[in-house]
Structure 1
Amino acid sequence: MLRRVLTVWRRSLQARVVVSTMLLSALAVSAVGWLLLQQVRDGLLEHRADAVLAETATEVSDARDRLSAASAVDVDASGQQRDLVEPIIQRGATRGFGVVMAGPIDRSAHDPGGRIADGGAEFSPGLDTTSVPVKLEDHFAGHSGTAWTYTTVRTTSGDVTTRVPGIVVGSEVELPADGLTYVLYFLYPLDEEQETLGLVTRALLVAGALLLVLVAGVSWLVARQVVAPIRLARQVAERLAAGQLQERLRVHGEDDLARLAVSFNQMASNLQRQIRQLEELSRVQRRFTADVSHELRTPLTTVRMAGDVLYDARNEFDPGTARAAELLQTELDRFERLLVDLLEISRFDAGAAVLETDDVDLVDVAHRVVEAAQPVARKRGVEVVVRAPDRPCLAEADVRRVERILRNLVSNAIDHAGPAAASGAPGVVVSVEADDQAAAVAVRDYGVGLAPGESAMVFNRFWRADPARDRSSGGTGLGLAIAVEDTHLHGGWLQAWGRPGGGAQFRLTLPRRVGAPLHHSPLPLVPQDAGERAS
């Protein structure tokens, strides 16, 4: 599931646009909603604080008026305290606020007292006196006047304790009975404001969710208008790449996408024209190569017959004429091989080359090729050895083409292995190996090697690393090009490695079964002795 989601995310521009737009919109809506909630909360608390302070001022003023009207001869401070606070408690029960009366406070003493925890406080039934913050009590221990703060109002009903946010306001009154100062604490719960804020929060959440859905729908529609033509262009491009050169985009309107479609169609028309010209030129070249090769066979046969006669009679000629007859015979052989290679290349270019497969033992093929190359190798003073396992290395292949590949590789290695022969080491080493999936043959020489970049160019037609170098095997310059075409026909690899002064190695890798995919080779491309030889 996760892999499928990641695949859709990587491949679908529309999905990325919609998801990105929703995420950015969610961040924006969250930020705006948070600011709105802060403004609403601050407004509600400010309004409630003003109302609470006004109501508290009224209650304190009324309490002071009643105390000033009390009899001066009344010395019962406890009774006067109850007479003062009970009416306020009763009004608080109807109006929804709680009351705590604490004291007295003696600021002239070291410990002014007046703490609720000291006992003697009068308070509303069910109200938890710990709802009054200690810091507010500390304030009245050293200051007079009115002060307020936020708190948590705790009330108890049976075994149930309720906690709601609230505002506590403290104000001082002086009892005539004892002339001491007491503090009245008014606790106002903010449950209504909390409900209002919750309602606003839910409304914002619903509105934000609806807005996100709307934004997702809008972004999906907008992205579809942009992505749909791009998808059509991709599909047409894929069909063009598959060879359907007549495919074109439909043009609607005159906007940027329409102009893009017009430009795409013009590009496709130009490509179609160029490809057809190249195909026609390639067809003409292939036909020319094939016709020339065939037409040259008749005069070559005639010249060959005359050359054979001269070559057979060379002993009757003077030395100069005899040498000319030998050179003529050599060049006729090379010319004949060149014609054969040109015909083979033309078959590859025309797609007419086919495989005649059978189970081939690469060890036997390697020994046959090396044995056939021994005369040339001895003439060059190069030793050619085969390193192969005792078991067969089988592969489903065309034995004629495989022998041709190895013959080209071994001949090239002999041509370039001259400097290594004097060291007493083998000039050319042919290694064979196979496993369950592939079989490989590597041809290693210890000659001049290849410069950086030449390992890819070496398979080009008529390419030579050193045009001035003599070819003892009479190569035509097409051997490696034909070899790589034969390898591709098998579905295999033909790779080259080389280092200046460290020799070169060519590796042929074939699948055990034709058409099977290749993932590795049983032999390394870089030989194990590369470092020792280079040093």
Structure 2
Amino acid sequence: MARRWRRWGAAALRLPGRVRSRWRRSLQFRVVAVTMVLSVIVAVGLGEFVADRVAKGLQATRYSVAQGIAESGFRIARTQLGSYSNGTVNDSANFTASAEQLFNLLNTGSADGQLYQVALEFAGDQAGVSAPYSSPRAFKPSAVPAALQEKIQTPENANQGFSQYYTLTETSADGSGQISVPAVLFAERVSTTGGLTADVYYVFPLRQDQQTLNNVEESLLLAGLVLVLALAVIAWFVTRQVVTPVRMAAAIAERLAAGRLDEQMRVRGEDDLASLATSFNKMAMNLQSQIRRLEELSRMQRRFVSDVSHELRTPLTTVRMAADLIHDAREDFDPTVARSAELLQTQLDRFEELLADLLEISRFDAGAAVLDAEPVDLRVLTQKVVDGAEPLAENKGSRVVTRFPDRPALAEVDTRRIDRILRNLVVNAIEHGEGKDVVISIAADEDAVAVSVRDYGVGLRPGESSLVFNRFWRADPARARTTGGTGLGLSIALEDAKLHRGWLQAWGEPGGGTQFRLTVPRTVGTELLHSPIRLEPEDSQHHQRHRRLPAAAAPRGLVRSAAVAAIAPSPGDSSSRIERYPNTFVLPPAPVNAPEPRDTRDEEE
């Protein structure tokens, strides 16, 4: 039982959230809900108005009838009391009989107290003489409110009738107890010229009127509920007629977005919804025609690139053979011709790279790229790329620093494609690093392995981080490609990362360098949800501006070359840099007589 209560409580707690979700997502639900709320408001207001008018009408009618009966009784009482002789008044027995006769006369037509009740009480010398109470519903004069008694007992109010709404307490029909019944009370002190005075009271219970009013209110409530439900059903039906075509249009639009270009809406009638369906179908047909035309153009473009790339291989091979002969014999030529041979060899190398990249791009465009994955330690693969880029780094005056974890960073990847990605990132970082150091970091967790390449060059302007992967895009069009780049390297790298279902992302800031982050899942086919490395590095200008580093902060791996002399390799030591100081960022030695570096953190704040 406790489990059932907990289940009900949990369902009740989830109900508001479900209602909010349905309110946001369903137009039909909103229309029906608003219609019901407005209908309830209208029904309640209309019911209150009708019930109030019925109550006032019943009250006025009942009061008018009761007033007529009471005034008639008061006239009879005055006539009867005025006809009593002195002998009747002075004789106690005769007076009591006469009072009983008057009471019975006044009580005629009361239906044994069901319609009204009468009380008669004498004042003056006959004070205390009252009519008998033969009915179980008889009204007692002692129950009359004191204010009304004082009003009718005032001498100047003699023979004047007064009324007051009153709550009558009487015994229930089955005798089980006392009940309270709304009533209207009429009272008048009848005084004759012979000095005889009597107080006459008429009480008219409003029991039947109250029951009638209750029945009317119940009928109005039932009618209001039926009206609200009927309006809700009508609103649901009407909105369904409008919402259904819209839902069909949304479903067909989703199928169109999924590539099912032959979907169309059903056209019924000639109304506005039919016009909407017709317009939607025309739009779908035009979209289908446009998409097919673009697909055909794209197919022709890919075919053209592929065909041209293949056709260029034969003449390029011939030109390459002739250029190799000329380049080998360049020492026999004069300096101008020899220099021309060297330039020809360089441009042929670049042309071959461009041709290979175009072929690779055409494979991606055609969907023919295949992933040949195997478990690889990305530390080893990255180190090979670093070793291959050392000559370029020395030529640029940059140092490549690696920060690798102690444990293997294994992932199922295509070695050739990951090597191409890393080579592009490292070479670009060195090329645009302006002689500053390049930091390569690797981190791994249970789901993914990430490699980041950080440089401290000119950086990227806002919005350029999403443009660097476009084909043939360069941050500075005037910058020369000294390494023979084709402008397709990052585009191919991005496609290689997507083929692994991984991420290749870029971050940069003007004057603060850039950081590229490659994240691949450990297992092929696993969906990435996070990366072990943050895209924005901790030493970015943005982070330095928004936090104050402690004065005695631990060194962040930035040491001068002299400080790492102790860990420099001894002669004959074949250990690699990663084994010697994997967490050290080595800076060039400071120039002679260079001023001491000063703390600029406060200025950056």
TM-score range, shorter chain: 0.7 to 0.9
**1:246 alignment partner, SS class:** coil
Is 1:150 the equivalent of 2:150? no
Residues 178, 521 of structure 1: alpha-carbon distance in 2 compared, 3 angstrom cutoff = farther
| Separation (CA, whole Å) in 1 of partners of 2:459 and 2:187 | 100
| Separation (CA, whole Å) in 1 of partners of 2:132 and 2:374 | 108
Following superposition, the deviation at residue 131 of structure 1 comes to 6.1
Residues 65, 389 of structure 1: alpha-carbon distance in 2 compared, 3 angstrom cutoff = same
Is 1:406 the equivalent of 2:422? yes
Deviation readout 1:28-87 (Å, 9 max, x if unpaired)? 223222211111111111100111111111122222222222335746999779928844
The amino acid across from 2:168 in the alignment is V
Q: 2:473 aligns with which of 440, 447, 463?
A: 463
Is 1:165 the equivalent of 2:171? no
| Separation (CA, whole Å) in 2 of partners of 1:17 and 1:518 | 41
The amino acid across from 1:397 in the alignment is V
Q: Map 1:253-268; keep pairs closer than 5 Å.
A: 253-268=269-284
The amino acid across from 1:259 in the alignment is S
**1:418 alignment partner, SS class:** coil
Point out where structure 1 has 5 or more consecutive residues left out of the alignment: 106-113, 422-426
The amino acid across from 1:27 in the alignment is I
What is the root-mean-square deviation of aligned Cα atoms in Å?
Answer: 3.1
Residues 335, 86 of structure 1: alpha-carbon distance in 2 compared, 3 angstrom cutoff = same
Residues 327, 203 of structure 1: alpha-carbon distance in 2 compared, 3 angstrom cutoff = same
So what's the TM-score if we normalise by structure 1? 0.87
Aligned to 1:430: 440
- Say whether the 8 Å CA contact 2:379–2:404 is kept in structure 1: yes
Is 1:97 the equivalent of 2:97? no
Is 1:493 the equivalent of 2:503? yes
Residues 174, 300 of structure 1: alpha-carbon distance in 2 compared, 3 angstrom cutoff = same
| Separation (CA, whole Å) in 2 of partners of 1:469 and 1:513 | 39
Following superposition, the deviation at residue 415 of structure 1 comes to 1.2
Q: Map 1:58-457; keep pairs closer than 5 Å.
A: 58-72=72-86, 74=89, 83=99, 86-87=103-104, 90-91=107-108, 92=110, 93-99=112-118, 127=139, 132-133=144-145, 136-137=148-149, 140=152, 144=157, 145-156=160-171, 160-174=177-191, 183-418=199-434, 421=436, 427-457=437-467
| Separation (CA, whole Å) in 2 of partners of 1:325 and 1:148 | 130
The amino acid across from 1:444 in the alignment is R
- Say whether the 8 Å CA contact 1:103–1:121 is kept in structure 2: yes
- Say whether the 8 Å CA contact 1:97–1:188 is kept in structure 2: yes
Aligned to 2:48: 34
Residues 403, 81 of structure 1: alpha-carbon distance in 2 compared, 3 angstrom cutoff = farther
So what's the TM-score if we normalise by structure 2? 0.78
Number of equivalenced pairs: 516
Following superposition, the deviation at residue 245 of structure 1 comes to 1.4
Following superposition, the deviation at residue 407 of structure 1 comes to 1.0
Residues 40, 412 of structure 1: alpha-carbon distance in 2 compared, 3 angstrom cutoff = same
- Say whether the 8 Å CA contact 2:372–2:413 is kept in structure 1: yes
Following superposition, the deviation at residue 202 of structure 1 comes to 2.7
Deviation readout 1:8-40 (Å, 9 max, x if unpaired)? 554443343334333333332232222111111
The amino acid across from 2:268 in the alignment is H
- Say whether the 8 Å CA contact 1:443–1:506 is kept in structure 2: yes
Identity, % of aligned positions? 51
**2:57 alignment partner, SS class:** helix
Please say which of residues 338-347 and 63-72 is displaced more in the overlay.
63-72
Aligned to 1:528: 538
Deviation readout 1:428-465 (Å, 9 max, x if unpaired)? 11111111122111111111111111111111111111
Point out where structure 2 has 5 or more consecutive residues left out of the alignment: 1-10, 546-603
The amino acid across from 2:529 in the alignment is H
Following superposition, the deviation at residue 393 of structure 1 comes to 1.5
